[in-house]
Amino acid sequence: MAAATRGCRPWGSLLGLLGLVSAAAATWDLTSLHCHFGTFCECDFQPDFQGLECDLAQHLAGQHLARALVVKALKAFVQDPAPTKPLVLSLHGWTGTGKSYVSSLLAHYLFRGGLRSPHVHHFSPVIHFPHASHMERYKKDLKSWVQGNLTACSRSLFLFDEMDKLDPGLMEVLRPFLGSSWVVFGTNYRKAIFMFISNTGGEQINQVALEAWRSRRDREEIRLQELEPVISQALLDNPHRFGAPGCHTTSLSQRRCFSHVPFLQMASGAQAS
């Protein structure tokens, strides 16, 4: 699952650098200045979109929707100097469609140090929260970790694997951090990126792809609008309901807070990870 196939690197970073330089005038001036001196915590956050796009194009075959969505959502979010809520991406699809690969690529192209960056926090339910009897402690820990890390550094990435196995109680701990109504930690929390990975909706996505194939449509013709409702329904039918719209149960705003990113089942012979 090594994300660092560096095929894109030389050009990617060069172009990325040029992109950064030309964008510097607008949003990046202060940040990049600080980064050169290496003192601010945002410095670890060095998005390289050219590199990301290039790597996705080379190594993520057959996922036109995921590729476009992820890049578009990230760009919009990162270039917004004052986002009103964190970026919440939930990646859905069958095992082996490239979800983990994409998440490690994102870490790699957003943070110096990638998954090993101190600002990238990776949680796997079976590893980090294995015992049902310890759930109360896990909840307390998780809340204080997210809170603590966001207080220390607004540009933090929280990555949750295997959401299907995450205790719903832990999701409830996270929920207040995901919306736009949570003000306790100042504005820091709004620059966070949350990424959730799950198989939920995978079967339904495959079904849509299969029907498209049967009616001889190109895979690339499958649009997000066809998949959004089936993913939403799968999430509602799922007992954990983690990605239901409306981030905070008491929030007045029913704005969708999860961006669903569908991963189609790979045709045989296509690349996956």
| Interface with ligand NAG (CB under 6 A) | 121, 144-145, 148-149, 152
Min dist CB 10 to ligand NAG, Å, is: 32
- Measure the CA–CA gap between 132 and 138, rounded to whole angstroms: 9
* Three-class secondary structure of residue 263 per DSSP: strand
Q: Which is nearer to ligand NAG, 10 or 148 (CB)?
A: 148
Closer to ligand NAG at the Cβ: 14 or 152? 152
User: Closest distance between ligand NAG and the C-beta of residue 127, in Å?
Assistant: 12
CB closer to ligand NAG, 84 vs 144: 144
Q: How far is the CB of 149 from ligand NAG (least distance, A)?
A: 4
Dihedral over Cα of 106, 202, 168, 162: its sign: negative
Query: If we measure between CA atoms, which residue out of 262, 194, 198 comes closest to residue 230?
Result: 262
Nearer to ligand NAG, 92 or 121 (CB): 121
The least CB distance from residue 124 to ligand NAG, in Å, is 12
Secondary structure (H, E, C), 137-199: HHHHHHHHHHHHHHHHCCCCEEEECCHHHCCHHHHHHHHHHHCCCCCCCCCHHHHCEEEEEEC
How distant, in Å, are the alpha carbons of 36, 44, 72, 112, 123 from that of 179? 32, 24, 20, 27, 20
Nearest residue to ligand NAG on Cβ basis: 148
Q: Which amino acid is at 61?
A: A
CB closer to ligand NAG, 149 vs 200: 149
CB of 191 to ligand NAG, least distance (A): 16
Please say which residue, 140 or 217, places its beta carbon nearer to ligand NAG. 140
Backbone angles phi, psi at 136, to 5 degrees: -65, -40
Nearest alpha-carbon partner for 108 in 12, 3, 192, 1: 3
The nearest distance, CB 150 to ligand NAG, in angstroms, is 9
